[in-house]
Amino acid sequence: MHSHINKFMETARKELKNEQSQMFLMMVALGAPILRQIGMSSFPDITAAESYSRAIRADAIARLPELLEEFEKNAESKGAKVLWAKDAAEANKIILDIANCGGVSYVMKGKSMITEEIGLNDHLIKNGVEVFETDLGEVITQNLNLHPFHLVGPAINVPPGEISEVFLKKGIIKKASTDPVELGSGARRYLRDKFRNLQMGIVGVNMAVAETGTIINVENEGNIRLIKSSPKTLVAIMSLEKVVPTIKDAIYMTRMLTRNCTGQKITSYMTMDTGPKKPEEQDGPEELFIIILDNGRSEIYRDFKTREILKCIRCGACLNTCPVYTKIGGYPYGATYCGPVGQVLTPMLAGIESTADLYRACTLCGMCKQICPAGIDHPSLLLSYRARQIDIKNQKGKKTMQSRRENAMAGLISLGMSHGWLWNFGLKITRPLMNSLAKDGYIASIPMGAQGWFGCRDLRAIPAKTFHETWNDLPSLPESSGNTSKKEDS
């Protein structure tokens, strides 16, 4: 994971000015919710469907350790080899070892966030194993060396001209073209050739079923089906929260996933694999490795507050509805996961101290929480990270001049807010200072602090009297209204 989270605002500013990005983000913001709505409307009761899927995820996470053991037992009984990886390095090593054992010179990959998270491609390439992405979007991001712009459509923002250019350079197409169909079929021809002699494929996992040991993938391009069926060796890597109790749960979650993701009732391809190829079967891998990756998730699980992050099914609905994401796109988030899901997950994976922009660049509007089919309360998590950050800053030995100053300020504000007289006294001092900056009843800028406000906005001058100061002068009810009520001081 090549993080550049520290450049959040710098990247966001660039993206806000990038017409191409803005055009695609507008399309995402307009189109995705409509598609989702159409997809969801095939449920007889949308609210009930959402409650059901949220309950499935809550149950699965509550029973996670037990379900993982059940999954391992059942997958192994069907002939799969289940391997546990505690972090990225371990997972990368396991996969490289499998490749080396089979003596493969290249692998092909299905779209997967988790391999992006562990930086698998770099590791394999560095160690002499070539990697071919097979999801069209990932073929593009891989060749352009880009982070995913969107969880589901990693390259939705890249214009055909740019794709054509890089495809030409890499020999994927022979003739320049901006026709999406041309580009798509060019990539297909190129990849089909690689599939022919494929020895080892790598896929992520959308759902792992505890009761049967089945791994499920949903996709629209058919590339994952080819990866799962053509090579001798198949490696499926999943983060440990992907497990669900039953096939019935998995199917329900799949219905929810595709509707929330692209608005589809079902994706074009859905593959369910239970163990490797059996002697009587024609297709499928001879050996199936399932790697269950922790990479910080046990820590996330241990804390009851953060545990709910693991409910996420990576549908991307929260991105499409987030006012911030739909303005700045995926790049500023600086990591594998962007938008609200990235904002709740990345600080836990990369640490609170280096990811402040992720949990502070949020208006707490609640759109993500409202739309989430897994039942995650993102705003509440982000607020808890802000509190953690303040706690860390105030730990002994970590205090800086700035954190001391901020803390003293917060203490002073708190003191004022806890005493009515002090509050009003503070205001009496502030008002003339603020109002000395006003012109025609509005303040257009102030010399220090809160500069951000005045970039595009004015602030009304502070009225001569607060409500507090007005209260005694407020009229009681007119007699004529026939009312007997009177206001009361206290």
| Residues numbered 314-353 forming contacts with another protein, rule: CB under 8 A | 323-324, 327-328
Does 437 bind another protein (CB under 8 A)? Our answer is: no
Least Å from the CB of residue 147 to another protein: 19
Does 178 bind another protein (CB under 8 A)? Our answer is: no
Euclidean distance between CA atoms 462 and 383, whole angstroms: 30
Euclidean distance between CA atoms 363 and 226, whole angstroms: 43
Pick from 181, 104, 198: nearest CA to 136: 181
Least Å from the CB of residue 346 to another protein: 17
Between 35 and 64, how does the x/- string for binding to another protein read (CB under 8 A)? ------------------------------
DSSP state of 81: E
Q: Which helix (H) or strand (E) holds 239?
A: strand 233-239
Q: Kindly identify the residues of this chain, within the stretch 7-26, that bind another protein according to CB under 8 A.
A: 9, 12-13, 16
Does 446 bind another protein (CB under 8 A)? Our answer is: no
Choice between 218 and 362, CB closer to another protein: 362
Among 367, 372, 374, 381, binds another protein (CB under 8 A): 367
Candidates 55-63, 219-227, 243-251, 458-466; binding stretch for another protein (CB under 8 A): 458-466
**Sign of the Cα pseudo-torsion (361, 365, 371, 374, in order):** positive
Structure tokens at 489: 């001081």
Least Å from the CB of residue 299 to another protein: 21
Alpha-carbon Rg of the chain, whole angstroms? 27
Does 238 bind another protein (CB under 8 A)? Our answer is: no
Choice between 218 and 322, CB closer to another protein: 322
> Would strands 200-203 and 106-109 be described as parallel, antiparallel, or unpaired?
parallel
Look at the block and give the residue holding tokens 């059996």: 278
Does 302 bind another protein (CB under 8 A)? Our answer is: no
Which residue type does 368 have? C
Does 34 bind another protein (CB under 8 A)? Our answer is: no
Q: Kindly identify the residues of this chain, within the stretch 179-208, that bind another protein according to CB under 8 A.
A: none
Candidates 35-43, 55-63, 76-84, 447-455; binding stretch for another protein (CB under 8 A): 447-455
Among 46, 222, 419, 425, binds another protein (CB under 8 A): 419
Does 425 bind another protein (CB under 8 A)? Our answer is: no
For 118-136, letters b (16+ CB in 10 Å) and e give bbbbebbeeeebebbbbbb
E strand intervals along 86-213: 106-109, 130-133, 200-203, 207-209
Q: Kindly identify the residues of this chain, within the stretch 379-418, that bind another protein according to CB under 8 A.
A: 383, 385-390, 407, 410-411, 413-418
Does 471 bind another protein (CB under 8 A)? Our answer is: yes
> Would strands 207-209 and 243-244 be described as parallel, antiparallel, or unpaired?
parallel
Look at the block and give the residue holding tokens 């987030």: 322
Does 27 bind another protein (CB under 8 A)? Our answer is: no
Euclidean distance between CA atoms 402 and 200, whole angstroms: 53
Choice between 101 and 415, CB closer to another protein: 415
Does 448 bind another protein (CB under 8 A)? Our answer is: no
Candidates 134-142, 268-276, 284-292, 419-427; binding stretch for another protein (CB under 8 A): 419-427
Beta bridge partners of 243: 208
Residue 311 CB contacts under 8 Å (≥ 6 apart), including other chains = 54, 57, 58, 60, 61, 241, 374, 375, 376
Candidates 59-67, 142-150, 153-161, 480-488; binding stretch for another protein (CB under 8 A): 480-488
Least Å from the CB of residue 384 to another protein: 9
Least Å from the CB of residue 206 to another protein: 28
Choice between 16 and 350, CB closer to another protein: 16
Least Å from the CB of residue 252 to another protein: 25
Choice between 101 and 387, CB closer to another protein: 387
User: For residues 5 and 346, is the Cβ–Cβ distance under 8 A?
Assistant: yes
Structure tokens at 93: 């090593």
Residue 445 CB contacts under 8 Å (≥ 6 apart), including other chains = 437, 451, 454
Size of the site for another protein (CB under 8 A): 71
Look at the block and give the residue holding tokens 């692998």: 107
Least Å from the CB of residue 42 to another protein: 23
